[in-house]
Chains A and B, each alone.
Chain A
């Protein structure tokens, strides 16, 4: 699959949904218009990435961060996006923090359990099953030979 940057499209279903929710009820969109918007969105991301990367390089950093993207928005004259993006970022950070704490808690609980005992039990059961399978296979082979 040739992956030129322009060909990396975002999923049509999601794009369509965003468009429909932005427009009043009863308004439709032609297939050509929808795919053009999808393409435009990809170009937007590529352009924003390039702008953001300039800011990162200015700051002598190799990793793009959120503020680089926000600076890019301003550079691209999409200032109206900045406030909603900042709000989304805060919500995202809160969610990530919650997830991290939840997974750390799970890890702690797991370590407390005595895992070693459970592992020994499982091993014994597995050995029994293997032996039964071997016996069945041998019987089958004998039958075929007779025929």
Chain B
């Protein structure tokens, strides 16, 4: 009973919405479903890369998706490793040479040597 009375009397002013504190438009793409942010890279572009390989006949949708996700993880990883180099130089901007250093230093990035020029 008390709860009902409180609901009637209390109309929150915030809901009047004069638009003073409208939500700032976010540059991110709208996420409709909770699981929508599975992959940010467009699968079509990843598929184009996969098809560029003359030995590949077909690639399943799941394979394309995992490749896209792996590429994202790769970008995060290499960015962080390159940042370690920049930090040592007390810089706050990642430069091309930081990337080159990371590629030389980290074994897993060896496949990139000579490919970025």
Contacts and interface: CB of A to CB of B under 8 A. Distances in A.
A69 to B, nearest CB: 5
Given A6-B115, A76-B108, A78-B108, A69 B96 contact: no
Does more than half of chain B's interface fall in helix, strand or loop, or is it mixed?
helix
A29 B76 CA distance: 13
A81 B65 CA distance: 14
Contact of B70 (A57, A63, A85): A85
A84 B62 contact: no
A91 B83 contact: no
Contacts of B65: 66, 88-89, 92
Q: How extensive is the interface on chain B, given as a class?
A: 35 or more
B115 A33 contact: no
DSSP class of A's interface residues: helix, strand, loop or mixed? helix
Contacts of A43: 111-112, 115-116
Contact of A66 (B57, B60, B71): B60
Interface string B15-56: 000000000000000000101001111100110111011011
B95 A63 contact: no
Interface string A1-37: 0010110101100110111011110111110110011
Interface of B: 33, 35, 38-42, 45-46, 48-50, 52-53, 55-63, 65-67, 69-80, 82-83, 86, 92-96, 98-99, 103, 107-109, 111-112, 115-116
